[in-house]
Structure 1
């Protein structure tokens, strides 16, 4: 199997990459990146500009795509920049992959994703899910974690406080409100790529504990 992974340097993406490179059924992983990375066996990491993706690159022809691209409003700096990373880039990847015959796409989305939401973050996530559903993938998996647990490269003070609070309250909270470990999210995404179910499937946060 050949897997195309977008967002391989983020918290969830790093776990997907490690799992994929260790899986016996995955022969090659293509992980486009913004900056050159360390070479690894079975990994192709082409340096790309996500604002001008190479439409005719041979590596688009894969068996499945996993997308874990994402940022925050604070890091992006504006709503426009956030939308570009969390909507436009994942959609552009999906469009090119579909054009090259890829039939399966798994997205790391978010709990509460809804194109009609009054909350900007949830609305952007929902708009992406809606737009992906119109591309005709034979299998589309939308993984919707809540608060993601794991060690990030960047500092997110508010998120860290929320993780601490949910960690303390975890045993008494409903399953859907508990912390979702990045490793578990990565496993769900990889499972969707390895065993693509026909149609659109949603994996909720209660299944990512």
Structure 2
């Protein structure tokens, strides 16, 4: 066991350890919020966040966030996921594990969102079909799915051969986009703040779980290939 650990690259080992710590934190936050939601508790922070979002909700802001929120919609992420599969197949045709875990990440989070929404059955603050504001509220799908989709792209960028500046620019942009999509649900009035936080926590936990297992799989596959030479 000790010899096996010594053969794991330091970067991979650190990534896995960091991911496990964040996964634990994200899981804890989601469970804590989920328990309160099941007990039909009211959150003061939801009221404060709603008041703050309402103070920002000018027609221009609503128009901006209505556009932003579409980037996290089911149809947009579905189309983008098929495009992403094509890109992954082109670049990683002989390295199938990235494709496999992308499918697992997106397929799994879709099932989780549907199941958890039904389990918690939290009513929305408002129902607006034009902003995908239908169905149950917790966790926010627009917070959960985008962090998995765009977060997986961030991971691929980190593992790519792009220079450091390009990696920083792309990933900061994607990180800001994830937060904007999640926050857009508040001024549009279709989610509570705790829906958004719960969604981000769930999405990050699932994303990093998939990435950690993918890293282990890639390491194991590379080690196996070397042993066969």
What TM-score, normalized by structure 1, do the two folds share?
Answer: 0.31
Q: Determine which structure has greater relative contact order: mean sequence separation of CA pairs < 8 Å that are 6+ residues apart, divided by chain length.
A: 2
Whichever structure has more helix as a proportion of its residues is 2
- Structure 1 or 2, whichever has the larger Rg, is 2
TM-score normalised by L of structure 2: 0.29
Structure with higher strand content: 1
